[in-house]
């Protein structure tokens, strides 16, 4: 019996191994064989001309399981599976009027980036709708949507190519005058003029090493050249020296002017001047209004402000409005 038993257990163990392998394979194929996440309508609608409004109408959203898999190593899948397709946004509604700057604030993991990512339709909502000038983003053609919505993040992607090519990537038809205008408004013209090859200087890993602030300004110049009507900006606090910080700030002011903007705000100056602040917590908008109103209300925003920004405020010049308060 012992002689029989050993090979039998070996066989049983082998079967377990095969089963495990099969499960892993299935998961690998789930990852590789993903259906396209975003489906374009065969007869898309056009975005009306002119400034654009951005509207979230009772948006509910959970990240698709496949995306969680691609983010994590396969060993982590079981853990993520246990979490299930947890809902991240629980009925978010707001409206940014054409030309308004809406600042999203709130604790880490609240859902700010998720809200921002639904505008260029990186994901589709589970229920509710995201509309640009009244048109559901799911009904827009992808080229139309891409041209309408520009995204600036702290580490915007730069290609290992010349500065000019990096800029023209967003606007292939731009002429030299337009290119220099974008560089000037992004506070980069002096730097580019000082480089031996000017705009033909290769940037990136093996090329000219741009500082963090210069990289950011180059991505802003790209946005200025592309002229999207809606800007999604992730201000994530960069550790820039104060001169760089001022240049980036000036470039961003240019980028937001006359555009509808959704800003994941970390700078007090942005929040103070925003037309509307949305306080996001646990996937919900828990407060909304302007800086002064929300401070006076003494709710979550006031609390956030006092813990995160009050020290920064003290370093500022006295502000008559704040003094009245």
User: Which residues in this chain contact ligand ATP in the complex, by CB under 6 A?
Assistant: 63, 67-68, 71, 88, 106, 108-114
Tell me how far, at minimum, the Cβ of 83 lies from ligand ATP, in Å.
9
Tell me how far, at minimum, the Cβ of 264 lies from ligand ATP, in Å.
6
The 10 Å Cβ neighbour count of residue 206 is 8
Tell me how far, at minimum, the Cβ of 270 lies from ligand ATP, in Å.
15
Question: Which one, 221 or 264, has the nearer CB to ligand ATP?
Answer: 264
The set of residues, in sequence order, having a beta carbon less than 8 Å from that of 285 and lying 6+ positions away, is: 92, 93, 94, 278, 279
Tell me how far, at minimum, the Cβ of 106 lies from ligand ATP, in Å.
6
Q: Pairing relation of β-strands 127-132 and 54-62?
A: antiparallel
Question: Which one, 103 or 183, has the nearer CB to ligand ATP?
Answer: 103
Question: Which one, 89 or 210, has the nearer CB to ligand ATP?
Answer: 89
**Contacts of the segment 186-193: beta carbons below 8 A, 24+ positions apart:** 186/217, 186/218, 186/220, 186/221, 186/224, 186/251, 186/254, 186/255, 187/217, 187/247, 187/248, 187/250, 187/251, 188/214, 188/217, 188/218, 188/221, 188/251, 192/163
Tell me how far, at minimum, the Cβ of 182 lies from ligand ATP, in Å.
28
Query: What is d(CA 5, CA 145) in angstroms, rounded to the nearest whole number?
Result: 65
Residue 318 near residue 325, CB atoms below 8 Å: no
Tell me how far, at minimum, the Cβ of 300 lies from ligand ATP, in Å.
14
Tell me how far, at minimum, the Cβ of 73 lies from ligand ATP, in Å.
14
Question: Which one, 183 or 265, has the nearer CB to ligand ATP?
Answer: 265
Query: What is d(CA 163, CA 169) in angstroms, rounded to the nearest whole number?
Result: 10
Query: What is d(CA 17, CA 60) in angstroms, rounded to the nearest whole number?
Result: 40
Token couple for 176:
């030299």
Residue 131 — φ and ψ, nearest 5°? -125, 140
Question: Which one, 180 or 305, has the nearer CB to ligand ATP?
Answer: 305
Question: Which one, 183 or 285, has the nearer CB to ligand ATP?
Answer: 285
- The burial class, CB within 10 Å (0-12 / 13-18 / 19+), for 85 is middle
Tell me how far, at minimum, the Cβ of 118 lies from ligand ATP, in Å.
10
Q: Pairing relation of β-strands 276-281 and 101-105?
A: parallel
Question: Which one, 77 or 110, has the nearer CB to ligand ATP?
Answer: 110
Question: Which one, 68 or 187, has the nearer CB to ligand ATP?
Answer: 68
Element (H, E) at 92: strand 87-96
Question: Which one, 6 or 70, has the nearer CB to ligand ATP?
Answer: 70
Tell me how far, at minimum, the Cβ of 104 lies from ligand ATP, in Å.
8
Q: What DSSP designation does 44 have?
A: P
């Amino acid at each position: 019996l012992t002689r029989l038993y050993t090979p039998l257990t070996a066989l049983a163990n082998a079967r377990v191994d095969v089963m495990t392998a099969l499960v892993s394979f299935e998961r690998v194929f789930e990852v590789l064989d993903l259906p396209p996440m975003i489906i374009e309508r065969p007869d898309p609608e056009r975005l009306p001309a002119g400034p654009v409004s951005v509207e979230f109408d009772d948006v509910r959203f959970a990240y698709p399981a496949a995306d969680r898999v691609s983010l994590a190593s396969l060993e982590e899948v079981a853990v993520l599976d246990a979490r299930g397709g947890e809902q991240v946004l629980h009925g978010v509604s707001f409206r940014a009027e054409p030309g308004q700057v809406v600042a999203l604030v709130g604790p880490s993991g609240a859902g700010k980036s998720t809200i921002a990512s639904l505008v260029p339709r990186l994901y589709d909502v589970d229920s509710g709708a995201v509309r640009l000038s009244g048109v559901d983003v799911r009904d827009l053609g992808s080229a139309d949507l891409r041209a309408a919505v520009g995204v600036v993040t702290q580490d915007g992607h730069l290609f290992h190519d010349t500065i000019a090519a990096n800029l023209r990537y967003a606007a292939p038809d731009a002429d030299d005058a337009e290119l220099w205008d974008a560089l000037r408004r992004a506070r980069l013209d002096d730097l580019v003029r000082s480089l031996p090859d000017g705009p033909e200087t290769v940037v990136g890993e093996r090329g000219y090493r741009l500082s963090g602030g210069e990289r950011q300004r180059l991505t802003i110049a790209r946005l200025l050249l592309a002229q999207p009507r809606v800007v999604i900006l992730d201000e994530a606090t960069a550790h820039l020296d104060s001169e760089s910080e001022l240049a980036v700030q000036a470039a961003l002011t240019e980028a937001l002017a006359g555009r509808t903007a959704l800003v994941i705000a970390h700078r007090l100056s942005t929040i103070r001047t925003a037309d509307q602040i949305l306080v996001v917590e646990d996937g919900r908008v828990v407060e909304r209004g302007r800086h002064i109103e929300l401070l006076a209300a003494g709710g979550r925003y006031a609390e956030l402000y006092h813990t995160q920004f009050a020290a920064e405020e003290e370093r500022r010049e006295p502000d008559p409005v704040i003094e009245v308060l």
